């Protein structure tokens, strides 16, 4: 089968750097999907993305897909003719659509019976004929939130398109793409090369661009930048801090990376390092460097998109650009310290938290009271928690945070220390937002944990209480993340906090009639459900969580320990039989009238050896089981009950539960109820589906 190499390239004006990687990968995936849909086999696929291009190269692409036999099904055979034996209207219509006479149709066996149909051979798809549609289809699927038009063109794309390459081997005329005729001509670096580059074969692409000062591969360019930045830092005897998102963004800004080191005055190191890093990273896309102790050094590393004959001029230009930004940070820091955080609280009344929920000042007052109420359970000093809650949002009205939004909380921490607030309060102002994302660190002290919990619980009940719970992919207040953060803090910090009580306390801080009735219960159900994703990531089957959540518990730490215990229990050889027995018991008891009254088991009414053995086993194990429960040793408790498998199996094998004698029947139901409640002390294991 004949094959050749495909090259597709879109040449554009500078693409959004933060989106470049996702655009490049999506363009590749769209091309591959288009080939697969047409059953066009191929070899290795490479993707390329620079500020001025998206490209895909597919090796060993077949030039034509194989022909295949298909069955086209029509009406059922038993309805092919009418009562007079004439072809039915459905049969004639189907035959006419296929361009044949009804007599030429065949009876074809299908899982639903015989159907009239046609067996035919469909010719293969010619790759060159399908190529334009494949490219267009991939472009339409690109994740572009807002497309633009340019000039008089009606075409739409993320940026204006100036050239397009579509080469299949040495053939390159494959129609228009986004208003541009496809060809075999690409372009090099905007400043370091001149004139078009004509390709004879796709295999020349990478080398031709590199000779024109373009590193086409996003991944290769990314690693070049990493290596160059680390080398520059090494020359300073320092370590470069390379944020992966920043590295991706810088990779999306340059086609020919050249790392250069600049410096700034040491006096700026008196400013909080986070503000300096924010200036360098967010505004200038610089990498900062630190010493062996992790302390910020007065240097930065920038990545130029040009190889200058006089790099010192480039460095000096970058130093001139960053100096005003750092001066602003120093000015804001000095100015902000003149006004204590506590004196800034009235200004929070001018910031709306949410129209129906009041101002940020009102939120701060609620959080302060809630934090004080939660503090004893979390283990924080009440007054420190109260103070942290009150000052938690005060830095929102500082010049530093107004200029550098990512300094929220961090700036407040520095200002609190300057104001001689307690060190735990100062730390809490920065750590209240931890964890900020999955896997992020947790608050380090109890005051910070308390503030983080109170702030999130206040937001959760507030937003749910006014009917703005997350729906589908819409979660503008990040309530899913807030819920998981609360669960992580409680579980990983080992806090015996009852969520129901915490949520009810949060609701109580709001004025009457602001929140809908039942808000605490609604939020509790939502938050407990967030556990499901947590355990899915840990490869714990959903049935395990269902078995525990059936208990309608509200202490996350308790739920977590039970889930782990049930998961361990489910691996035991006795688990499957005991889960099935519990299911059977649940079904038996579930069929009883709602007014059925259970009593204690009467030993005198136990007549069969098997029911006596089960009763004795339950009595013997109950003491140790309850002792384990009292110590929250759920794994040990369930392991203890695993010994019941033999007596339970024997009971169901040889004992008739629904005995004719009413007293015996009632006593045996009482025994099963006792067995069921024993397991329910941990979870409803009847919901387990243990793998066979």
pLDDT of residue 600: 86
CA distance between the termini of the chain: 46
- CA–chain centroid gap for 154, Å, is 36
Q: What share of the chain is helix, strand, coil (3-state, %, to 5)?
A: 55, 15, 30
d(CA 638, CA 136): 59
Residue 691 pLDDT class (50, 70, 90 cuts): very low
Closest C-alpha among 145, 125, 143 to residue 68: 125
- Whole-Å CA distances, 666 to 421, 609, 648, 656, 671: 68, 17, 18, 12, 9
How far is Cα 531 from Cα 538, in angstroms, rounded to an integer? 11
**CB contact at 8 A, 359 and 353:** yes
Confidence of residue 689 (pLDDT cuts 50, 70, 90): low
Q: Evaluate if residue 604 carries a pLDDT over 90.
A: no
For 288-311, write each residue's pLDDT tens digit.
999 999 999 999 999 999 999 999
Cα separation, 671 vs 688, in Å, equals 22
Q: How does DSSP assign 226-283, residue by residue?
A: HHHHHHHHHHTT-EE---HHHHHHHHTT-SS-EEEEEE--GGGGGS-HHHHHHIIIII
pLDDT value at 579 more than 90: no
pLDDT(471) > 90? no
Cα–Cα dist 441/492, whole Å: 11
H-assigned helices in 114-156? 127-140
Q: What would the DSSP string read from start to end of 305-330?
A: SS--S-HHHHHHHHHHHHHHHHHHHH
Q: Can you tell me the mean pLDDT for 644-648?
A: 89
Helix (H) or strand (E) holding 464: helix 446-465
From residue 113, alpha-carbon distances to 74, 76, 77, 116 in Å are 12, 7, 8, 10
Residue 692 pLDDT? 45
Does residue 481 sit in helix, strand or coil? helix
pLDDT tier at 432 (50, 70, 90 boundaries)? very high
Say yes or no to pLDDT of 669 above 50. yes
Give 117-127 pLDDT, tens digit per residue: 988 888 889 99
Phi-psi bin for 42: left (phi > 0), alpha (psi -120 to 50), beta? beta
Pairing of strands 180-183, 161-168: parallel
Count of Cβ atoms closer than 10 Å to residue 173 Cβ? 11
The answer to which of 20-24, 143-147, 368-372, 503-507 has the lowest mean pLDDT is 143-147
Cα distance between residue 328 and residue 318, in whole Å: 16
pLDDT, mean of residues 346-368: 97
The 3-class secondary structure across 506-573, one letter per residue, is HHHCCCCCCCCCCHHHHHHHHHHHHHHHHHHHCCCCHHHHHHHHCCCCCCHHHHHHHHHHHHHHHCCC
Closest CA to 28 of 4, 13, 51, 49: 49
What single DSSP character describes residue 466? T
Q: What angle do CA 203, 204, 206 make, to 5 degrees?
A: 95
In the numeric block, which tokens belong to residue 237? Answer: 């005897």
Smallest Cα–Cα separation from 245: which of 279, 272, 282, 277? Answer: 282
Domains in the chain (CATH in brackets) are 3-65+126-211 (3.30.70.260), 68-122 (no CATH), 219-333 (no CATH), 342-539 (1.10.3210), 560-687 (1.10.730.10)
Q: With CA atoms as reference, report the closest residue to 394 among 348, 428, 354, 432.
A: 348
Helix (H, G, I), strand (E, B) or coil at 479: helix
* pLDDT-derived band at 485, boundaries 50, 70, 90: very high
Average of per-residue pLDDT across 413-425 = 98
pLDDT recorded at residue 35? 96
Q: What are phi and psi of 496, to 5 degrees?
A: -85, 55
> Which DSSP string corresponds to 603-654?
GGG--SHHHHHHHHHHHHHHHHHHHHHHTT-HHHHHHHHGGGHHHHHHHHHH
Q: If you write DSSP's letter for every residue of 55-71 in order, what string do you get?
A: EEEEEEEESBPPPEEEE
CA distance 658 to 656: 6
pLDDT in tens, 103-159: 889 899 888 889 999 888 888 899 999 999 999 999 999 999 889 998 888 899 999
Q: How many CB atoms lie within 10 A of CB 37?
A: 13
Q: Which of 567, 248, 251, 244 is nearest to 437 (CA)?
A: 244
Token pair of 94 as six digits = 């189907």
3-state secondary structure (DSSP) of residue 34: helix
For residue 239 the two structure tokens come to: 């370590």
Q: Please name the helix (run of DSSP H) or strand (run of DSSP E) that holds residue 122, with its range, or none.
A: strand 113-122
The three-class DSSP label of residue 402 is helix
d(CA 653, CA 642): 18
Report helix angle 446-465 to 423-431, nearest 10: 40
DSSP state of 209: H
Nearest Cα neighbor of 242 from 228, 255, 253 is 228
Model confidence pLDDT, tens digit, residues 169-204: 999 989 999 999 999 999 999 999 999 999 999 999
Contact status, residue 485 vs residue 529, Cβ threshold 8 Å: no
Angle between helices 410-418 and 423-431 (to 10 degrees): 170
CB atoms within 10 A of CB 60: 13
Report the chain's C-alpha Rg in angstroms: 35
Task: Share the mean pLDDT of the chain.
Answer: 93
């Amino acid at each position: 089968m004949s094959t050749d190499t495909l090259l597709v390239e879109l040449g554009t004006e500078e693409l959004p750097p933060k989106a470049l990687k996702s655009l490049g990968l999506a363009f590749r995936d769209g091309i591959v999907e288009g080939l697969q849909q047409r059953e066009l086999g191929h070899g290795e696929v490479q993707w390329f993305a620079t500020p001025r291009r998206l490209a895909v190269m597919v090796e060993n692409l077949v030039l034509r897909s194989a022909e295949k036999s298909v069955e086209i099904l029509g009406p059922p055979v038993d309805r092919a003719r009418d009562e007079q034996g004439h072809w039915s209207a459905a049969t004639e219509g189907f035959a006419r659509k296929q361009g044949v006479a009804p007599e030429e149709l065949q009876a074809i066996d299908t899982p639903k019976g015989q159907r009239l149909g046609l067996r035919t051979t469909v010719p293969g798809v010619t790759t060159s004929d399908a190529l334009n549609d494949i490219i267009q289809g991939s472009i339409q699927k690109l994740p572009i939130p807002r497309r633009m038009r340019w000039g008089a063109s009606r075409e739409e794309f993320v940026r204006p398109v100036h050239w397009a390459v579509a080469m299949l081997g040495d053939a390159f005329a494959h129609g228009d793409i986004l208003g541009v005729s496809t060809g075999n001509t690409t372009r090099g670096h905007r400043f370091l090369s001149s004139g078009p580059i004509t390709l004879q074969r796709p295999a020349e692409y990478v080398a031709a661009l590199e000779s024109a000062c373009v590193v086409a591969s996003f991944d290769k360019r990314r690693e070049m930048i990493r290596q160059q930045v680390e080398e520059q830092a090494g020359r300073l005897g320092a370590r470069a801090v390379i944020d992966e998102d920043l590295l991706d963004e810088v990779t999306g800004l340059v086609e020919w990376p050249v790392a250069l080191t600049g410096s700034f005055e040491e006096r700026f190191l008196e400013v909080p390092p986070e503000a300096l890093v924010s200036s360098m990273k967010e505004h200038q896309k610089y990498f900062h460097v630190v010493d062996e102790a992790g302390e910020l050094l007065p240097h930065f590393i920038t990545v130029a998109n040009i190889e200058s004959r006089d790099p010192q001029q480039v460095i000096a230009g970058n130093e001139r650009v960053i100096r005003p930004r750092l001066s602003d940070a120093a000015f804001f820091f000095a100015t902000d310290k003149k006004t204590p955080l506590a004196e800034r609280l009235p200004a929070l009344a001018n910031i709306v938290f949410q129209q129906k929920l009041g101002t940020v000042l009102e939120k701060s007052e609620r959080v302060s009271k809630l934090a004080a109420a939660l503090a004893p359970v979390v283990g924080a000093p009440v007054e420190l928690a109260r103070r942290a809650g009150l000052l938690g949002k005060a830095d929102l009205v500082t010049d530093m945070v107004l200029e550098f939004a990512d300094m929220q909380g961090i700036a407040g921490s520095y200002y609190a220390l300057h104001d001689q607030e307690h060190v735990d309060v100062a730390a809490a102002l920065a750590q209240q937002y931890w964890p900020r994302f999955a896997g992020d660190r947790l608050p380090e002290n109890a005051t910070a944990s308390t503030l983080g919990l109170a702030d999130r619980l206040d937001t959760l009940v507030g937003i749910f209480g006014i009917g703005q719970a997350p729906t589908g992919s819409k979660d503008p207040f990040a309530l899913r993340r807030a819920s998981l953060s609360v669960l992580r803090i409680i579980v990983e910090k080992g806090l015996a906090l009852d969520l129901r009580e915490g949520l009810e306390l949060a609701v109580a801080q709001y004025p009457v009639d602001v929140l809908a009735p039942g808000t605490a219960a609604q939020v509790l159900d939502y938050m407990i459900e967030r556990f499901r994703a947590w355990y899915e990531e840990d490869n714990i089957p959903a049935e395990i969580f269902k078995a525990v959540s059936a208990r309608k518990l509200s202490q996350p730490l308790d739920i977590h320990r039970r889930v782990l215990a049930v998961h361990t229990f489910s691996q035991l050889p006795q688990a499957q039989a005991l889960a099935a027995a519990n299911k059977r018991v649940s079904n038996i008891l579930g069929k009883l009238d709602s007014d059925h009254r259970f009593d204690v088991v009467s030993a005198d009414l136990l007549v069969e050896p098997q029911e006596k053995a089960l009763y004795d086993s339950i009595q013997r194990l109950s003491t140790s089981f309850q002792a384990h429960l009292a110590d929250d040793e759920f794994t040990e408790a369930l392991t203890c009950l695993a010994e019941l498998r033999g007596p339970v199996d024997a009971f169901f094998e040889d004992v008739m539960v629904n005995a004719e004698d009413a007293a015996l029947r009632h006593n045996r139901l009482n025994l099963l109820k006792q067995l069921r409640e024993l397991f329910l002390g941990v979870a409803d294991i009847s919901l387990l589906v243990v793998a066979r």
